Amino acid sequence: MGKSNLEMNYYRLLLLLLLGSITQLASAQNKVLLKISMDPGKTYKTHMNTIMDMEMTVKGDSAIIKQLSASGMQLPILMHMDQHFGTTTKTGQQRADKKTPLTMTFDQMSMTQSVSGQESAQNENPFANAVIEGTTIGDGKISIDTIKGELDDALKISMRQMVNNLQQSIKFPAEELKIGDSFDMEVPMNLPIPQAEMKMMLVTKYILKEIKDHKAIFDLKQNITMDMSITQNDSKGNGAGTGTGTMIYDINKKIAEQSDSNIQFQFEFGVSGLTMSATCNGKTNVKCTVE
């Protein structure tokens, strides 16, 4: 009888230890700290693909609309765009000052589009020969030192702004997130249009849906607002839209390895006595790998 009690106590203890281990493991998998990191001696590749379809209608002075139709413009205006963008970032060995040197190249920048049946392609990459040299302190942020390549000053400024704007938009919360937690990220987009000013704001809510296989999976909810003014004739326009999507964060690699979003967007603006209204549907896919 004593031996039996000892065995029962042993199995109870073993069961409690097992349950405790399972509980600790489950607890560890229910929280995640989002932190983008760039480790020494690695190669990071990012590819983004955007597909956009737009339909634009024109209302207003019938005489002007007849003139536009007579000139060959097909109404409504239908546009389809397919854009590809790819970069490679290579990190070296960490220096004594804790900074890690890196180089970034723009491997692909192409676009095909169709406007009312007229197709065109932009396959020339203006940054094909450019190399960004800089450093990182491991937090995923890049400090640019120099830009090498046959680029004029305007393209170099554009490249710096592109990299800086991308980094400024990525702001993850400092605290751990558990299932059901959320945070917002705002990305302003001011588009330089001749004789016009367009300001767009994309606000994305990230909602932690689940954690499995060392991946944190988020649902995305997006809101878009737009204001546009044309200085030449004091015309104004505005727009709004919504979107949904997902993001997968690799906990071990500390990268957002994939994100997908679908947006619907409408805007309207007046120009030369006409009111132009457009409806847009877009899909964006971003993938990041590390070697």
Tokens, residue 135: 């450093």
Give the integer Cα–Cα distance in Å for 256 and 17. 35
What's the gap between Cα 284 and its chain centre? 8
At 281 the pLDDT is 92
Residue pair 116/77 in contact by the 8 Å Cβ criterion:
yes
Predicted confidence (pLDDT) per residue in 256-283, tens digit: 999 999 999 898 888 777 888 889 999 9
Single pTM value for the model: 0.80
Residue 11's SS3 state is: helix
Residues 6+ apart with CB under 8 A from 118: none
Cα end-to-end span (Å), the chain:
60
Unique residue bearing structure tokens 């932009």? 122
At 183 the pLDDT is 94
How many Cα atoms sit within 13 Å of 92 on the Cβ side?
13
Predicted confidence (pLDDT) per residue in 165-208, tens digit: 666 667 788 899 999 999 998 887 665 555 567 788 889 999 99
Residue pair 268/251 in contact by the 8 Å Cβ criterion:
no
Tokens, residue 221: 């909810």
Tokens, residue 102: 């890196």
- Nearest Cα to 166, choosing from 53, 48, 267, 266? 48
| Residue 22 banded pLDDT, cuts 50, 70, 90 | very low
Q: Is 209 exposed, middle or buried (0-12, 13-18, 19+ CB in 10 A)?
A: middle
Predicted confidence (pLDDT) per residue in 62-104, tens digit: 887 888 788 777 888 899 999 998 999 999 999 999 999 999 9
Predicted confidence (pLDDT) per residue in 111-169, tens digit: 898 888 888 988 888 888 889 999 988 777 788 888 898 878 877 887 777 777 666 66
pLDDT at residue 215 is higher than 90: yes
